[in-house]
């Protein structure tokens, strides 16, 4: 375990062990929205709702972040399943802290996300990244008394250096999740077509 992982665990593990909400990891210094824009590939996911069996249901997919005129990120996702193309989108509204966002649940978000019973709130934080190779996103969704933690490993390319996987695993552990909560989407033979 590297020194960065030890630091992240020491900052967040006490809160997780006390049974409180997941701890917020350290801030990304000087988050740059314009540099974060563009296409990313979702290469790893972890969640307190995922199991290893879920891997077969998930293909690698792309997500595109684009800034709109309001300075909000319009996020579009594309996943190919056989001959079908699944797409979904949502809007991230910047919060007071750089790299922190709230999912729009009122007007700009995908209607499918709002169709469930009850309301939810979802906060997304860019935890780590370098704009050109990888990014780690932490999402915390609250619906009633249920909290869903989701961590995404994004890459600008299909192959990532080993150290990015180590950082992903450290963040997963720091949020109180285990290896059983990690899903690496099944690789596909061709890239998803953003226009499908």
At residue 121, does pLDDT exceed 70? yes
Per-residue pLDDT, averaged over 34-40, amounts to 97
Confidence check: pLDDT of 13 > 70:
no
For each of the domains in the chain, give its residue range(s) and CATH number, in order of start: 35-183 (2.40.128.20)
Tell me the Cα Rg of the chain.
Answer: 16
Q: List pLDDT tens digits, range 71-80.
A: 999 999 998 8
Mean pLDDT for 160-168 is 93
Average pLDDT, the chain: 80
Could you tell me which residue, 114 or 29, shows the higher pLDDT? 29
Question: Across 24-33, 48-57, 167-176, which has the greatest mean pLDDT?
Answer: 167-176
DSSP state of 186: B
In the beta sheet, which residues pair with residue 47? 150
Which tens digits make up the pLDDT trace of 136-153? 999 999 999 999 999 999
Backbone angles phi, psi at 97, to 5 degrees: -90, 135
Structure tokens belonging to residue 88: 């979904």
DSSP 144: T
pLDDT band at 108 (very low <50, low <70, confident <90, very high): very low
CB 191 within 8 A of CB 27: no
N-to-C CA span, the chain? 41
pLDDT for 106: 72
Q: How many CB atoms lie within 10 A of CB 157?
A: 11
Mean per-residue pLDDT, 41-48: 94
pTM: 0.78
Q: Are 172 and 182 in contact (CB under 8 A)?
A: yes
The whole-number pLDDT of residue 111 equals 46
For 53-105, the pLDDT digits (tens) are: 777 777 778 999 999 999 999 999 998 877 888 899 999 999 999 999 999 97
Greater confidence, 188 or 165? Answer: 165
Which pLDDT score, from 0 to 100, does residue 36 have?
97
User: Within a 10 A sphere around the Cβ of 17, how many other Cβ atoms?
Assistant: 9
Strands (E), 38-145: 38-47, 61-67, 73-81, 84-94, 100-103, 121-129, 134-143
């Amino acid at each position: 375990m590297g020194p960065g992982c030890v630091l992240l665990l020491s900052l967040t593990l006490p809160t997780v062990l006390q049974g409180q909400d997941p701890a917020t990891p350290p801030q990304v210094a000087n988050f740059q929205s314009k540099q974060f824009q563009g296409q990313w590939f979702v290469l790893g996911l972890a969640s307190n709702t995922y199991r290893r069996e879920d891997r077969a249901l998930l293909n690698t997919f792309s997500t595109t972040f684009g800034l709109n005129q309001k300075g909000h990120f319009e996020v579009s996702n594309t996943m190919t399943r056989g001959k079908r193309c699944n797409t979904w989108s949502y809007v991230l509204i910047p919060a007071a802290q750089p790299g922190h966002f709230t999912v729009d649940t009122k007007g700009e978000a995908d209607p499918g996300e709002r169709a469930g019973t009850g309301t939810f709130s979802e906060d997304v934080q860019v935890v780590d990244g370098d704009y050109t190779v990888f990014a780690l996103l932490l999402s915390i969704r609250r619906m009633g008394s249920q909290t869903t933690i989701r961590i995404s490993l994004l890459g600008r390319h299909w192959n990532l250096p080993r150290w990015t996987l180590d950082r992903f695993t450290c963040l997963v552990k720091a949020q109180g999740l285990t290896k059983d909560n990690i899903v690496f989407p099944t690789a596909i033979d061709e890239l998803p077509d953003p226009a499908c």
